[in-house]
Structure 1
Amino acid sequence: LSNNRAERAVKEIVMGRKNWLFSQSGTGAKSMAIIMSILETAKQNGLDQFKYINYLLDKLPNELSLLDNQRLEAYLPWAENVQLHCK
């Protein structure tokens, strides 16, 4: 058994750690952590990260409610429509 995949996933976070020390606020650091999590999940699902972020920023503001879990599931990286648009 190997944990190379997990170590590689954490590598980018560790490399950026020095930059996050200078976040202006706790909220800014939390926002950066959320964005990095989204990008890493997209990468693990074989998506182009830039296309995925653009897709989310283009589609999510047009949703009537972001509180509906079924609507949000359509934007997860493993959703079929997302896979078609963001590979």
Structure 2
Amino acid sequence: MYCTLVQTAKLNNLDAYKSLKYVFEQLELRKNPNVDAYLPWSDEIQAKCKAHSPVDDDMQLEKIIENKEAMVKS
């Protein structure tokens, strides 16, 4: 069952750890009685648990390099 939850999170471009943690926290609080709110394709989970893509990592790395180059020049 857990493997299915992890793979479903990954297929929906979510960080599996973040999504499971979020769902278990929300279920414990029972904030939303509608089960659809806890599915991987819900808007709230997509917003809070989105996985980093390699493109995002590359963009962050470029920003770090640019900042270091700017610091060296000044």
Band the TM-score falls in, shorter-chain normalisation: 0.5 to 0.7
- Counterparts of 1:5-84 in structure 2, within 5 Å, are 34-63=1-30, 71-84=34-47
Q: Report how many residues are paired.
A: 50
Compare relative contact order (CA 8 Å, sep 6+) and give the higher one, 1 or 2: 2
- Residue of structure 2 equivalent to 1:14: none
TM-score computed with the length of structure 2 as normaliser = 0.62
Letter in 1 for 2:15: D
SS class of match (1:74): helix
- Provide structure 1 residue ranges, at least 5 long, that are not aligned to the other structure: 1-33
Q: Distance in 2 between matches of 1:36 and 1:43?
A: 11
Which of the pair has more CA radius of gyration? Answer: 2
Runs of 4+ in 1 over 3 A off after TM superposition: none
